[in-house]
Amino acid sequence: MNDTVHTCSFCGASQAPDTPLIAGLDGHICEACVTLAHQVVSSWGRARALSGPLKSPPKPLQIKEQLDRYVIGQEAAKESLAVAVYNHYKRLAAESKNPRRSLDDDDRVEIDKSNILLLGPSGTGKTLLASTLARIVGVPFVIADATTLTQAGYVGEDVESILGRLLDAANGSREVAEWGMVYIDEVDKLARQGETAHGTRDVSGEGVQQALLKLVEGTQVKINPKGRKDSGDGALIDTRNILFLVGGAFAGLEKLLTRRLRPGPSGIGFQADVGARNEDDKRRDPELYRETHPDDLRQFGLIPEFIGRFPVLVGLHDLDEAALVRILTEPKNALIRQYQQLFAFEGVQLEFTPEAMTAIARKAIDRGTGARGLRSVLEGLLQRPMFELPSMTDVVGCQVDVETVEGTGPVHWIHGSEDEAERASAGG
């Protein structure tokens, strides 16, 4: 009988009933060292897969410059996103260059992630910021819709399906997916509704918030090849290093903010100054959402545990007339350029007068849908010209002025003969 007590060749732990050792040809290894070795090898795999992006991670100023090419305004939101992405890259780079190699590495500072919550009125650029960010980052990035998620056990998608999509974005590499980024849109639709009139459960509201808690903070989830949680064989994804961003319009939140920031007169009866309060309600402060506190979100219907997992609150403001005019012309994929390209396919040059673009922005503001209203205004404005243009001949230009936008006049077609006459008069 062999009574020799073996020790771990890595950490020196002695063999015991609660500390079994795996025997090799020339040594032994304990469970803790096996786990540590697995983490180190996994970090090597991630570093190899992300060697390109990690060689030259973009700095916050560079990220913001790229966002500026597509998104107008919202400077504070772009700066916050740029810092979050840069810190995410730095975390990846630090872990790939210096992974934890020993169990007693107590002096190492582990950097936690700071998840972000974007909130602001509809049409202010939340989804555009996230989709543009997807073009910039070199890590896997997915955009999910909170309205399609339901509590586990009910018809609909489980929250774990987000990780399945992230795994697909990483081309099936679990190590790379664990360093990815996730944006969940329409998160305000998860606000707690309570029991409905029919007594049914709020399975797509508070239940989804509860299911997202561990996923956002950090847990291990087994994902099968179809992207659903499964007890069988599948990839075990650790979400501790996945950066989560959520966004929503939070319609009605401005009333809570206004009530807290600018409380109305307390008088009642004949002495109450009702007219002044009504006038204030009609004018929404464009910077109002930047004053959002966690307690405001709790009153809106988000549970405190969910709010606490998003320490960075980024409020987007309403776009004014000048910003909407810039959106029409300045971004790389500006709406005016898109419609000019459509007309160029027919050999026609489309032009807008400055007064016409200002009138378009004013109509979009009246519709209350932010930048999304610009496309609907342009579609209604150019629908008839685009219907007639393919059948017209000898047309080289189309001009839209303020009368056209306001509906008091048609578009001005420029024919080839008119264009030649204008050139001759200008030369003479």
Decide: 239 and 215 in contact? Cβ < 8 Å: yes
Is position 398 annotated in a ligand binding site? Answer: no
Burial call 139-163: b when 16+ CB within 10 Å, e when fewer: bbbbbbebeebbbeeeeebbbbbbb
Exposed, middle or buried, 31 (CB in 10 Å: 0-12/13-18/19+)? Answer: middle
| pLDDT given at position 49 | 58
For the stretch 131-177, pLDDT in tens is: 888 778 778 889 888 888 876 656 567 788 889 888 888 888 887 88
- Contacts with 413 (C-beta within 8 Å, 6 or more apart), sequence order: 392, 395, 397, 398
Rounded-to-integer distance, Cα 143 and Cα 130, Å: 8
The mean pLDDT value for 24-49 works out to: 77
Cα–Cα distance between 364 and 343 in angstroms, integer?
A: 22
Q: Could you identify the residue written with the tokens 């913001």?
A: 64
Determine the pLDDT at residue 328. Answer: 93
pLDDT digits (tens, 9 = 90+) for 259-274: 888 765 554 555 555 5
14: which DSSP letter? B
Return the pLDDT at 258. 85
Q: State how far the alpha carbon of 140 is from the alpha carbons of 53, 54, 356, in Å.
A: 11, 13, 42
Task: Assign 39 a pLDDT band (cuts: 50, 70, 90).
Answer: confident
C-alpha R_g of the chain: 29
Q: Which residues contact 35 (CB under 8 A, 6 or more apart)?
A: none
How many Å from the N-terminal Cα to the C-terminal Cα in the chain? Answer: 116
Quote the pLDDT of residue 16: 86
What pairing do the DSSP bridges indicate for beta strands 141-145 and 181-185? parallel
pLDDT in the model for residue 290: 81
Confidence of residue 276 (pLDDT cuts 50, 70, 90): very low
The CA-atom distances, in angstroms, between 11 and each of 7, 32, 36, 128 are 8, 9, 11, 51
The pLDDT of residue 31 is above 90? no
Q: What percent of the chain has pLDDT over 70?
A: 78
What per-residue confidence (pLDDT) applies to 380? 92
What's the CA gap between 139 and 415, in Å, rounded? Answer: 51
**Mean pLDDT of all residues in 9-37:** 86
At 352-394, the pLDDT tens digits run 999 999 999 999 998 888 888 899 999 999 999 999 999 988 8
Which tokens belong to 344? 């160029």
Residue 220 has pLDDT above 90, yes or no: no
Q: Are strands 220-223 and 116-119 parallel, antiparallel or unpaired?
A: unpaired
Query: What is the overall mean pLDDT for the chain?
Result: 80
pLDDT of residue 418: 57
Cα 320 from chain centroid?
22
- Measured between alpha carbons, how far is 5 from 415 in angstroms, rounded to an integer? 98
**Strand, coil or helix: what is 142?**
strand
What pLDDT does residue 228 have? 45
**Whether 152 contacts 101, CB under 8 Å:** no
Per-residue pLDDT tens digits for 86-115: 888 887 777 766 665 555 555 667 777 889
Residues with Cβ < 8 Å from 319, sequence gap 6 or more? 72, 73, 123, 124, 125, 327, 370, 371
pLDDT value, residue 231:
42
Q: Which residue has the higher pLDDT, 229 or 333?
A: 333
Q: Please, what is the angle between helix 75-97 and helix 60-68, to 10°? A: 140
What is the per-residue pLDDT for 12?
Answer: 84
pLDDT at 10: 85
The gap from C-alpha 22 to its chain's centroid, in whole angstroms, comes to: 46
Average pLDDT over residues 172-193: 84
Per the annotation, does 33 bind a ligand? yes
Distance of CA 137 to the CA centre of its chain: 12
What pLDDT does 177 receive? Answer: 86
Entry field: residues in the chain: 428
Express each pLDDT in 300-355 by its tens digit.
Answer: 889 999 999 999 888 888 888 999 999 999 988 899 999 999 999 999 999 999 99
DSSP 8-state class, residue 400: E
Give the mean model confidence (pLDDT) for residues 243-261: 87
Question: Does residue 180 register a pLDDT over 70?
Answer: yes
Question: Which residue has better confidence, 418 or 259?
Answer: 259
288 CB-near residues (< 8 Å, 6+ apart): 254, 257, 258, 261, 315, 317
Angle at 274 between CA 272 and CA 278, to 5 degrees: 160
> Which domains are assigned to the chain?
7-49 (no CATH), 53-100+112-192+202-260+276-318 (3.40.50.300), 321-427 (1.10.8.60)
Predicted confidence at residue 284, as pLDDT, reads: 53
